[in-house]
């Protein structure tokens, strides 16, 4: 159950019209961790993933249902008083709140690398299109191992590990993945090994079954196989989480998933990476034990189709720009007798090893789409995008290149190309978000002065925009009545500006709301409200909440 300090919205009892929104905050410390680890003593039921049924639902039923529904926008509910996402069983703030070193990113969640001195196969891999097997390494740990396919060597394993490190750095829970190399004589068949299908049927695994898997694998010049290894997560797997609603048998799962910012924010991260394979089947819930009790922990898995590889490997034209079944595109083409130019036309796979259909020129973050509708992404709003963009902005080119290096691309051209494209796509994504939404952040309060940064300006995303940016500020009390205080300030040269001589509200502990409207080249942007009150013990003002209208 979320702590009481998590938000929020008590409607002010003012009968007179007011420009400030209805949000009011408790005069309390900010909650940075959610108490969603309450004991779940009974294992929740495992949720099977029927891929064909899922895609029929995503491509036919949900679009039709959405077209018949009245739109019902709703802001994310898994946020604290600063409109940020606290740590939880879903997400852990890393680079968004602190520095992450290059060495820490390189390690990611990995504790010990797989011991490939002896790989004992115990089962065939049952899910996904790629061939693979479950094995015990020389240390006794269990892994899923997926050899790179001969038809696309290096690409999938490299992309998977690079994106896994980036998503971990952003804050998501992910498994321990690595690129590994092994010789055929390091692999042996366990005496009780089985072949298991997706329905749970099994039979003894024979040497020819293992050979059939390895025959599909890519072998390098040194005679070794290259593969992706993914360590089994601790606990018991109970399937992916539903894309909407909650798990009825998990009492900690209280917020409908379509209204969770950690899932809505995937829109920006996945569009940047073109991780279009966004679906329930690439999520995994684990029933884990910690400190003597059990709870459900939520993981993202399987990133190998990122960097436009879905389009290349499965010949999906327009992947990342259109749904697998896209009624909008078909209608536009029909109405223009096929003359409409699709936004992805002209996109090419570069002549660079181990890369997909992935470029900068055709990337438009406002048009990005997963392969199939994923419900949380249908609700993504500007607040969710600002949250995601603030985290994305903290990844430096050195972070991005280091993640790609962990993917062990074997040709330096691949590393150079993907670094260049990801950095340029990052800039495009940030410019899109901070150009249309309030980019004010990093608020500080001291000496009766409220200072903030305009991220569009501090990140230098629009050269020349500083001279055309101004902030108009007005103050209100708890009831929404305007106080006798206004300010108009020009943007600071480095994008940081300050409002001085702040007023104090007449009640509720000096509660005051500072409403800041950004003007860019005579165009106003939705305001940001900073809520301030007197801390009861120190008797000094503090920021107790931020509300983005």
Q: What is the pLDDT of residues 219-259, one digit of tens each?
A: 999 999 999 999 999 999 999 999 999 999 999 999 999 99
Q: Is the pLDDT of residue 38 over 70?
A: yes
Burial class for 11, CB neighbours closer than 10 Å (0-12, 13-18, 19+): exposed
Centre a 10 Å sphere on the Cβ of residue 397 and count the other Cβ atoms it contains: 12
- Do 421 and 360 contact (CB within 8 A), yes or no? yes
Of 97-111, 187-201, 273-287, 449-463, least confident by mean pLDDT is 187-201
Look at the domain 103-237 and name its fold.
Answer: 3.30.1010
- Do 481 and 503 contact (CB within 8 A), yes or no? no
Instruction: Name the strands in the sheet holding 523-534, side by side, starting at the edge strand that comes first in the sequence.
Output: 482-490, 469-477, 512-520, 523-534, 541-548
Instruction: Give the H or E element holding residue 472.
Output: strand 469-477
- Which stretches of 280-375 are assigned E, i.e. beta strand? 283-290, 293-300
Q: Residue 170 — φ and ψ, nearest 5°? A: -65, -40
Q: Who contacts 67 (Cβ-Cβ below 8 Å, separation ≥6)? A: none
Please tell me the CATH code under which domain 440-548 is placed: 2.60.40.10
Instruction: Enumerate the β-bridge partners of residue 289.
Output: 294
DSSP string for residues in 504-520: --SSTTT-EEEEEEEEE
pLDDT in the model for residue 404: 98
pLDDT in the model for residue 366: 96
Which 8-state DSSP code applies to residue 217?
B
Q: Are strands 177-182 and 225-231 parallel, antiparallel or unpaired?
A: antiparallel
Instruction: Round to whole Å and give the CA distance between 58 and 53.
Output: 9
Strongest mean pLDDT among 11-25, 82-96, 128-142, 334-348 = 82-96
What's the whole-number mean pLDDT along residues 116-121?
Answer: 96
Instruction: Round to whole Å and give the CA distance between 396 and 159.
Output: 18
Instruction: Round to whole Å and give the CA distance between 537 and 70.
Output: 48
Ramachandran category for residue 497: left, alpha or beta (phi over 0 → left; psi -120 to 50 → alpha): beta
Coil, strand or helix: which one is 295? strand
Q: What is the pLDDT of residues 155-184, one digit of tens each?
A: 999 999 999 999 999 999 999 999 999 999
- Do 453 and 442 contact (CB within 8 A), yes or no? yes
Q: What is the pLDDT of residues 135-155, one digit of tens each?
A: 999 999 999 999 999 988 999
Of 120-134, 171-185, 248-262, 270-284, least confident by mean pLDDT is 120-134
Q: Are strands 293-300 and 283-290 parallel, antiparallel or unpaired?
A: antiparallel
Q: Return mean pLDDT, the chain.
A: 91
Instruction: Round to whole Å and give the CA distance between 96 and 201.
Output: 45
Work out the angle between the directed axes of helices 397-406 and 155-170 (0-180°, nearest 10): 140
SS3 labels along 117-151: CCEEEEEECCCCCCCCEEEECCCCCEEEEEECECC
Instruction: Round to whole Å and give the CA distance between 130 and 229.
Output: 13
Instruction: Give the H or E element holding residue 392.
Output: helix 382-392
What residues does each domain of the chain span? Answer: 39-99+243-295+305-436, 103-237, 440-548
Report the helix count and the strand count for the chain, using DSSP H and E. 14, 18
- Percent of the chain exceeding pLDDT 70 equals 95
- Do 264 and 275 contact (CB within 8 A), yes or no? no
pLDDT confidence band for 2 (50 / 70 / 90): very low
Instruction: Round to whole Å and give the CA distance between 107 and 304.
Output: 19
Q: What is the pLDDT of residues 327-364, one digit of tens each?
A: 777 777 778 877 777 787 878 888 999 999 999 999 99
Of 49-63, 122-136, 234-248, 370-384, least confident by mean pLDDT is 49-63
- Do 234 and 287 contact (CB within 8 A), yes or no? no
Ramachandran category for residue 245: left, alpha or beta (phi over 0 → left; psi -120 to 50 → alpha): left
Q: What is the pLDDT of residues 299-320, one digit of tens each?
A: 999 999 999 998 777 777 788 8
Instruction: Round to whole Å and give the CA distance between 313 and 306.
Output: 11
Instruction: Enumerate the β-bridge partners of residue 319.
Output: 322
What's the whole-number mean pLDDT along residues 358-376?
Answer: 93
Which 8-state DSSP code applies to residue 47?
B
- Which stretches of 96-245 are assigned E, i.e. beta strand? 119-124, 133-136, 142-147, 177-182, 187-196, 202-204, 225-231, 236-237
pLDDT in the model for residue 13: 37
Coil, strand or helix: which one is 346? coil
pLDDT in the model for residue 296: 98
- CA gyration radius, the chain: 25
* Paired tokens of 388: 């995601």
Q: Is the pLDDT of residue 324 over 80?
A: no
Instruction: Round to whole Å and give the CA distance between 471 and 38.
Output: 44
Q: Who contacts 185 (Cβ-Cβ below 8 Å, separation ≥6)? A: none
Burial class for 538, CB neighbours closer than 10 Å (0-12, 13-18, 19+): exposed
Which 8-state DSSP code applies to residue 91?
B
Q: Is the pLDDT of residue 7 over 70?
A: no
Residue whose structure tokens are 């009245």: 70
The shares of helix, strand and coil residues in the chain, as percent rounded to the nearest 5, are 25, 25, 50
Closest by CA position to 497, among listed 445, 450, 532: 450
């Amino acid at each position: 159950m979320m702590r009481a300090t998590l938000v929020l919205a008590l409607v002010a009892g003012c009968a007179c019209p007011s420009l400030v929104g209805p949000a009011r905050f408790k005069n309390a410390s900010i909650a940075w961790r959610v108490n969603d680890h309450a004991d779940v003593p009974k294992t929740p039921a495992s949720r099977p993933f029927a891929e064909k049924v899922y895609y029929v639902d995503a491509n036919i039923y949900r679009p039709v249902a959405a077209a018949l529904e009245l739109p019902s926008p709703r802001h994310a509910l898994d946020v604290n008083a600063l409109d940020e996402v606290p740590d939880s069983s879903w997400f852990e703030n890393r680079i968004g709140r602190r520095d992450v070193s290059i060495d820490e990113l390189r390690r990611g969640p990995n504790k010990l690398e797989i011991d490939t001195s002896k790989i004992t196969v115990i089962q065939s891999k049952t899910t996904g299109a790629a061939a693979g097997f479950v094995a015990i390494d020389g240390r006794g740990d269990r892994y899923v191992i997926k050899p790179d396919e001969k038809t696309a060597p290096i690409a999938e394993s490299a992309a998977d590990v690079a994106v896994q490190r980036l998503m971990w750095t952003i804050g998501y829970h992910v498994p321990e993945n690595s690129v590994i190399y092994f010789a055929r004589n390091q692999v042996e068949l366990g005496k009780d090994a089985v072949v298991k299908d997706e329905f749970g049927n099994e039979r003894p695994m024979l040497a020819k079954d293992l050979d059939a898997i390895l025959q599909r694998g890519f072998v390098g010049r040194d005679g070794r196989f290259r593969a992706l290894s993914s360590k089994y997560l601790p606990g018991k797997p109970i399937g992916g989480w539903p894309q909407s609603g909650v798990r009825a048998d998990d009492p900690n799962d209280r917020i409908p998933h379509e209204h969770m910012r950690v899932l809505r924010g995937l829109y920006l991260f996945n569009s940047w990476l073109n991780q279009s394979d966004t679906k329930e089947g690439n999520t995994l819930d684990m029933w884990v034990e910690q400190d003597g009790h059990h709870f459900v922990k939520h993981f993202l898995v399987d990133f190998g189709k990122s960097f436009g590889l879905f389009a290349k490997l499965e010949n999906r034209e327009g992947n990342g720009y259109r749904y697998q079944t896209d009624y909008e595109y078909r209608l536009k083409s029909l109405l223009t007798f096929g003359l409409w130019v699709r936004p992805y036309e002209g996109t090419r796979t570069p002549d660079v090893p181990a890369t997909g259909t992935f470029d900068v020129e055709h990337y438009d973050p406002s048009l990005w789409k997963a392969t199939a509708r994923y419900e949380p992404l249908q609700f993504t709003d500007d607040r969710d995008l600002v949250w995601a963009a603030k985290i994305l902005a903290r990844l430096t080119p050195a972070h991005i290149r280091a993640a790609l290096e962990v993917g062990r691309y074997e040709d330096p051209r691949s590393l150079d190309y993907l670094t260049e494209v990801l950095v340029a796509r990052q800039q495009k994504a940030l410019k899109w978000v901070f150009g249309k939404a309030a980019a004010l952040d990093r608020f500080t309060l001291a000496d009766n002065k409220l200072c903030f940064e305009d991220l569009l300006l501090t990140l230098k995303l629009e050269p020349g925009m500083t001279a055309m940016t101004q902030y108009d500020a007005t103050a209100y009390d708890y009831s929404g009545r305007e106080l006798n205080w206004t300010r108009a300030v020009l943007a600071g040269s480095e994008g940081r500006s300050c409002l001085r001589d702040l007023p104090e509200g007449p009640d509720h502990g000096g509660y005051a709301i500072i409403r800041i409207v950004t003007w860019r080249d005579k165009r106003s942007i939705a305001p940001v409200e900073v809520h301030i009150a007197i801390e009861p013990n120190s008797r000094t003002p503090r920021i107790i909440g931020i509300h983005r209208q």
